[in-house]
Amino acid sequence: MPPTLHDRACERVYPCCVSDIFLSYATEDRERARAIAQALASRGWSVWWDREIPFGESFDRVIERELAAARTVIVLWSRASVDSDWVRNEARQALRRGVLLPAQLEPVALPLEFSNVQTADLGDWRPDQAHAAFDKLTQRLAHLVGPMPTAATQAEERLPAAPEPGAHRAVEGRRAGDRADMRPKKSLWIVLALALLVALGGAYWATTGSGVKVPNLVGMTVDAAVAIVGDRGLVRGQTTARETEASPPGTVVDQSPSAGMSARRGSAVDLTVAAVPMVAVPDLAGLPLGEAKAQLNSSGLKFGATSVTGLFAGDESAAPKVRSQSPRARSRVARGTAVQLGLVHPGVEVPDLIKGTLAQARDRLGKAGLSAGDVEEQVVAGVPPGTVFEQGRPAGSLVARGSKINLRIAGKPLAATMPRIVGLHWSKATEILRAAGLTNFKTQGRLTKDVPHWQVLSQSPEAGTSVSPETRIEVVYAQQERALPVDPPPRSKDDAAKICPAVCAEQKMKWKAWFAEKPMYCYCTL
């Protein structure tokens, strides 16, 4: 490919400094960059990669000069280079000029603005082996820079030009002061140079055709910009995303060539399109809820809903901490995204104390950073005395360190005298029996009109009899109401009004009520 207008401009500004290839890479990848540079140089292209700065010149100015002058820029992406501001800036400049050729040295997430550019995978490339991706890269280079020089052309470039006929006589003439012979020859060279420039200009305009004025596309949607580009005889080039809040997403914020410039028909116009600003989600694991909210706010994100585990009613002794989050840490999301948090109470786990002795319970609580609270003793049939049969907090629940756990243990059975409960309301009779350590009782209701509902009618054993906690107590109490089952159950109150009176009459009772919550019963009274 012949030198472009950009190349000729660079040669005028930076004479003798135009490289075919500018190689951009991170310092950590220097050895791999060296191998690639040598492979490209062996094919005849000039490569600027070593970055040795001449004495008396600043580093950034030399880089800027070589980057602007190079005919193409190869960027080597790696974990190190994606985090390098130098490499990103060099790639951005090359993309703006339309001379970017990216390649990957290893699997890595590319910066967003370069993710749409086709990238050569050189992860397994070796200098001494054939490689399809490297071959395609060199083919693209040949298209952008020009074909690889052959041995013949390189040899021809190295040979000195043959002397013009009569050169020795011209020298002798100059030595003798005969300058008149040189004037016609100098005029001839000027005429030939002008003719060559005219021929080159004609060839250039013959191949490029008439110029087209590039339209202003900034502020348009991509579809509208592409339509206008096509109407002007141009084509859509590369589309690059730029995160910004200044323009609506999907609108053009920059273009290359710029509006008003002249371009040949069929040229590509590169577009830079506004994208929603993306931010990295911070890692919130283990942080207190208040601190996690502050980090989300400073990152431009919102606090979403939370799910809490391990908390128990009434305990606010310690703030919950973040256990999980969605989206995950270090992922990139749009600014303003709500982050959901899963929280956990930072307490200690209550050990299982059931069936252990009081001493064992105290020991387990102490090791967990807890202590025993109130200890209540109660005679329980079938439970060995001194054994824990109930604990104030369930095993496995989380409580604040230092909390007290109430315990109930089985007491020793004592000989007792059967109390008199006949004539008492059943609730009062139950309280008296439990206080005496008597919990093994059987109850039965008996319909009667003469005694109030729930009043005890009879007891066995009789009052004053010696009993123990294992003694079975039988109690009969008065009933004036009864729930009688009915099948099939009524489906509504009106349906019950038709069915329940007959059901109650069979037991010589009157229908009193029916409840939709328990539709299978008719409530009857004497």
Q: What is the DSSP string of 338-385?
A: EEEEEEE---EEPPP-TTSBHHHHHHHHHHTT-EEEEEEEE--TTS-T
* Nearest residue to 132 via CA among 103, 94, 169: 103
CATH code of the domain containing 264: 3.30.10.20
Residues in a beta bridge with 388? 409
CA distance 123 to 101: 15
- Three-state secondary structure call for residue 284: coil
Are residues 106 and 49 both part of a single domain? yes
Domain boundary among 325, 344, 363: 344
Q: What is the pLDDT of residue 112?
A: 87
Q: Tell me how far apart the alpha carbons of residues 333 and 362 are, in angstroms, rounded to a whole number.
A: 51
510 located within any domain: yes
| Res. 350: pLDDT tops 60 | yes
Q: Are 383 and 411 in contact (CB under 8 A)?
A: no
The pLDDT score that the predictor gives to residue 199 is: 55
State pLDDT tens for residues 112-128.
Answer: 888 888 899 999 999 98
Judgement on whether residues 361 and 255 belong to the same structural domain of the protein? no
Residue 422 lies in a domain: yes
Contacts of 139-142 spanning 24+ positions with Cβ under 8 A: 140/101, 141/20, 141/21, 141/40, 141/45, 141/72, 141/101, 142/1
Q: Are residues 117 and 247 in the same domain?
A: no
Nearest to 216 by CA among 271, 162, 265: 271
Q: Please, how many CA atoms are within 13 Å of residue 275, restricted to the half-sphere of its CB?
A: 15
Q: Per residue in 20-56, pLDDT tens?
A: 999 999 989 999 999 999 999 999 899 998 765 666 6
Bridge partners (DSSP) listed for residue 344: 309, 321
DSSP state letters, 52-94: PPPTTS-HHHHHHHHHHH-SEEEEEE-TTGGG-HHHHHHHHHH
How many distinct structural domains can be found in the chain? 6
Per residue in 387-444, pLDDT (tens digit) is: 999 999 999 887 878 889 999 998 876 667 889 999 999 899 999 888 887 888 898 8
Q: Do the strands 332-334 and 278-280 form a parallel or antiparallel pair, or are they unpaired?
A: antiparallel
Q: Are the C-beta atoms of 75 and 36 separated by less than 8 Å? A: no
Q: What is the dihedral of CA 352, 357, 361, 364, to 10 degrees?
A: -80
Please report the pLDDT score of residue 320 as a whole number: 77
* For the chain, percent of residues with pLDDT exceeding 70: 79
Matching residue, tokens 């080159």: 200
DSSP 221: B
Q: What's the mean pLDDT in 349-357?
A: 92
271: containing domain: 211-276
Q: What is the CATH number of the domain that holds 47?
A: 3.40.50.10140
Examine the domain organization and report whether 12 and 130 are in the same domain: yes
* pLDDT tens, position by position, 182-207: 444 555 666 566 656 645 555 444 44
Confidence tier at 157 by pLDDT (50, 70, 90): very low
Tell me: pLDDT of 7 over 90: no
Asked if 24 and 75 sit in the same domain, the reply is yes
433 in a domain, yes or no?
yes
Instruction: Taking residues 451-459, report their average pLDDT.
Output: 90
CA distance linking residue 312 with residue 398, whole number of Å: 7
Domain check: are 17 and 76 in the same one?
A: yes
301 with 339, same domain: the answer is yes
What tokens were used for 362?
Answer: 């105290």
* Residue at 184 is within a domain: no
Whether residues 495 and 470 fall in one domain: no
**In this structure, is residue 46 part of a structural domain?**
yes
Query: pLDDT value at position 170?
Result: 36
Question: Mind giving me the DSSP string for 168-193?
Answer: HHHHHHHHHT-GGGHHHHHHHHHHHH
Same domain, yes or no: 317 and 335? yes
194 assigned to some structural domain: no
What pLDDT does 51 receive?
Answer: 65
Query: 5-19, 154-168, 422-436: which has the highest mean pLDDT?
Result: 422-436
Q: Is residue 165 part of a domain?
A: no
Its pTM stands at 0.32
Q: Does the residue 52 lie in any domain?
A: yes
* Together in a domain, 9 and 139: yes
Mean pLDDT of 51-70: 75
Asked which of 152, 184, 199 is the last residue of a domain, the reply is 152
pLDDT at 171 over 60: no
* The last residue of a domain, from among 304, 323, 344: 344
**Calpha distance 47→370 (Å, rounded):** 72
Q: Give the position of tokens 């919102």.
A: 302
Q: How far apart are CA 179 and CA 170, in angstroms?
A: 9
For residues 302 and 295, give the distance between their C-alpha atoms in angstroms, rounded to a whole number.
Answer: 10
Residue 109 and residue 223 in one domain: no
Is residue 391 packed enough to be buried (19+ CB in 10 Å), middle (13-18) or exposed (0-12)? buried
Tell me: pLDDT of 9 over 50.
no
Check whether residue 404 and residue 266 sit in a common domain: no
pLDDT at 47: 92
